[in-house]
Structure 1
Amino acid sequence: MDEKLKILVVDDDEVERMAIRRALDNSGVRMELSEVNNGHSAISALRNNKFDCAFIDYRLPDQDTLTLIKTLYSLNIKIPLVVLTSQGDEQVAVELMKVGAVDYLSKSRVSAETLAQVLRHAIRVHRAEMQAAIAYQQLRESHEQLIRKNQELERQRQQIQIQNLKLLEASRLKSQFLATMSHELRTPMNAIIGFSQILLRPKFGSLTGQQTDMVERILNNGKHLLMLVNEVLDFSRLEEGQLELKPELVDLAKIINTVVGEMSSLAEAKKLSLIINFNLQNPLIVNDPSRIKQILINLLSNAIKFTESGSIWVEAKDLPGNRVAIAVKDTGIGIASKDFKHIFEAFRQVDQSITRKYPGTGLGLAIIESLVQMMNGKIFLESELGVGSIFTIELPKQISSSNSSVPKSSVQMENQQMINSTQRLHQSPPKSNQSSNKYQKLKR
């Protein structure tokens, strides 16, 4: 060892202390040696000075070494302790090592070589024990810190769980309130619409031009308000899981033509072209016609609302895997890519301000997405600001009973048989474009 060591020798025999001093001098160890002759002096020296090692005689005049070692450890004095024993005291020395001594050495074996070897070994063992103790303490502190963090995380988890339960209850109450209010609002709104239509009938008396205009405004605003109420009611039913699909055999092309016909007046008012393109070998599908119509009305309403000039296309085509795609394309204002992830959120619109140009509840696309998911379908969005948007819906040609919560009845089985037989009749159709154009002419 190159460093200078401070060593304490505790022995009441001057001759034995001299022998240890001589052996340490001859060992070549750089040291500063201190000597005391009893246990109390040893305690005082060790409390007031820092030593690297202490050699302690097993038999001290004022107290036994076992008591001395326990006293040192009770005072948190931790240094390498080497017990010096007489012949035959080895078993006692082993017991002393169990309570804190690092090593022992028989006085009959004291020499420069053995003393240096024992000294180095004692210091190495003690330093290793100190490092292990420090590491253990750090590990213990880390463990306690982890326990505290886990307790804090558990407390936060419980708080989050409580908040989630409160939010779920609030959401349930909100949905229940919306459903109740929507239902209650529908009755007076239907009455307003009904009486407005009666007033416009000639047999109930003629109205002046100004009166007719006012009643028509009442009627149009009533219909618009009823549409908003219906959206809220449908959304609350979807949230509560109370809305069910009622699948039946329907003609998809006929539904599209009907919806486009109903929406054409809105498009004409803005001088927009409304174009239909079919590429269907067989337009028959099994689905809920009212919900398919609702999806198309919402998509077309949005397309017309957000398009100031240009055209709107409604396209339907067959897909592999007995599926069908319906797309609504417009040349409107478009949607920024950063808003794609929010566009299907309930009550969410790109412009959330109260002075926004385009009004609405912000439920249309959320309802569409929920209905498409119920039908085991997918919805895709392509859009570019200033260019336009394309909403594409992919649906199975026959929704399963699990999607609609309606058991497959004999009627549905008959519908499937009708689809299969119709598909056999269309196995050798003319080219798709010719078929499409011919079908359009028949519909018109």
Structure 2
Amino acid sequence: MRDNVVRDVAYFLFITLLIGAVVYAVTTFFVFRPLDRMKLAFADMGEGRLAVSLDDAHAAREISRLIERFNSTAAELHTMYDHLEEQVESRTDELRKANAALERQRDTLERLNVELAKETQFKSDLLSMVNHELRTPLTSIITFAQISREACPPDRASERHSWEEIEKNSQILLAMINDMLDIARSDAGSIRTACEPMDLGDIVSSVRGTMTPLAQKYDVAFCTRVASDVPLVNGDFEKTQRMLENLASNAIKFTPDGGTVELRVDVGEGGVRLRMIDDGIGIAPEDHERIFERFFQVDSTSTRKYNGSGLGLALVREYAAVQGFSVSVESELGQGSTFTITIPSDAIVG
């Protein structure tokens, strides 16, 4: 019995080992080897080699299905990658063409900019020449008209009035020429400003001397008031005076006979304020910004006292901007207008 038991145990051990070896061999051949091939294929895909395909022969059914899905996915990825490369190549070619077109356009723009700069300089030179050639005879006409008006005897009122009209219209024409020249300089970027201490009282006196005769001709009272505590400020004397003259002439133009225009200078919130106040026809709220546009005219009816170029307020804003000042307006139709130039506190001397 003992020999039979030993023989049976040995037989079963042999059978067990044999079955284990067979199972191991079958599993290795049909499962582990296909999985190893898939592992290598995944590694190839990770390195960018998408043209991989596995043979599902000698693989278990589940492994075979997995290999089929892997092959299908790899094929789709390969197709997508090829299509993407074609798109990238196409886009690269389009980008190359676009860059070439941009280069040609840039060259064209540079050439046009050079031509435009030449034309702008030519226009600036032409305007300067025309301005000089026109101002010289206009100044002579104004001077001759003044002399002739003063030389007229009292009994020749009509002749005196004619010389006054010649003088007045010559002054208007001269102001328009100066405005157009300044606009041309602004477009050419050649406006230069000084920064020096200014006595606003002196500027107001000059404006009063210039504007009073114009106000008298149109039966408008023009007065000025400068507060005693107004300090010296840094700025451009000539351009500040031009700003106030433009505001004053504009106010006189749109103020009815018997009206009043007042220039006030005082120290307020934010700095020194120069206010031009009139009791004229006023400005609608929707036009408060538009009046500072070039050649814009609010009133084009026959009620205007004389035609203008529409550049006065545009120059006021440009002169203010180059000096660091600000310009604002408060007005309603029929209620007069108040234009305010604010000189900031940091421009106060001392």
In the superposition, the TM-score normalised over structure 1's length comes to 0.56
Measured in 2, the distance between the counterparts of 1:331 and 1:280 equals 25
Unmatched runs of 5 consecutive residues or more in structure 1:
1-89, 401-415, 421-444
Percent identical across equivalent pairs? 29
Aligned to 1:306: 254
Distance 1:99 1:281 in 2: 86
Distance 1:165 1:349 in 2: 31
Higher strand share: 1
SS of residue in 2 equivalent to 1:224:
helix
2:292 counterpart SS class: coil
* 1:179 equivalent in structure 2: 128
CA root-mean-square deviation: 3.9
Per-residue CA shift, 1:145-203, capped at 9, x if unaligned? 4444454455445444443443333222212211111111111112212222222334x
Q: Which moved more, 1:208-217 or 1:188-197?
A: 208-217
**Equivalent in the alignment of 1:125:** 74
Question: What SS class does the counterpart of residue 263 from structure 2 fall into?
Answer: strand
The residue number in structure 1 matching 2:239 is: 291
Aligned: 1:259 with 2:207: yes
How many angstroms apart in 2 are the aligned matches of 1:141 and 1:384? Answer: 63
Distance 1:136 1:174 in 2: 55
Compute the displacement of 1:302 (Å). 0.9
Q: Indicate the residue corresponding to 1:392 in structure 2.
A: 340
Q: Equivalent residue for 2:25?
A: none
How far 1:312 sits from its partner (Å)? 3.1
> Which range is displaced more, 361-370 or 173-182?
361-370
Please tell me whether the aligned partners of residues 179 and 232 of structure 1 are also in contact (alpha carbons under 8 angstroms): no
Residue 166 of structure 1 aligns with which residue? 115
TM-score normalised according to structure 2 size: 0.68
Task: Quote the offset at 1:291 in angstroms.
Answer: 3.1
Are positions 1:116 and 2:65 aligned together? yes
Return the alpha-carbon distance in structure 2 between the equivalents of residues 215 and 177 of structure 1: 31
The runs of at least 4 aligned residues of structure 1 exceeding 6 Å deviation read: 204-207, 352-356
Pairwise CA distance, 1:389 = 3.4
Q: Secondary structure at the match of 1:223?
A: helix
* CA deviation profile, 1:47-70 (whole Å, cap 9, x unmatched): xxxxxxxxxxxxxxxxxxxxxxxx
Is 2:165 the counterpart of 1:217?
yes
Q: Which runs of 5+ in 2 are unaligned?
A: 1-39
In structure 2, distance between residues paired with 1:166 and 1:340: 37
C-alpha contact (below 8 Å) 1:333/1:385 kept by paired residues: yes
The CA distance in 2 between the partners of 1:382 and 1:295, in whole Å, is 17
2:229 to 281, 286, 300: 281
Question: What residue in structure 1 maps to residue 149 of structure 2?
Answer: 200
Q: Per the alignment, do residues 152 and 332 of structure 1 end up closer, same or farther by CA in structure 2, a change over 3 Å counting?
A: farther
Q: How many residues align?
A: 301
Contact map agreement 1:183 1:233 (CA 8 A) in 2: no
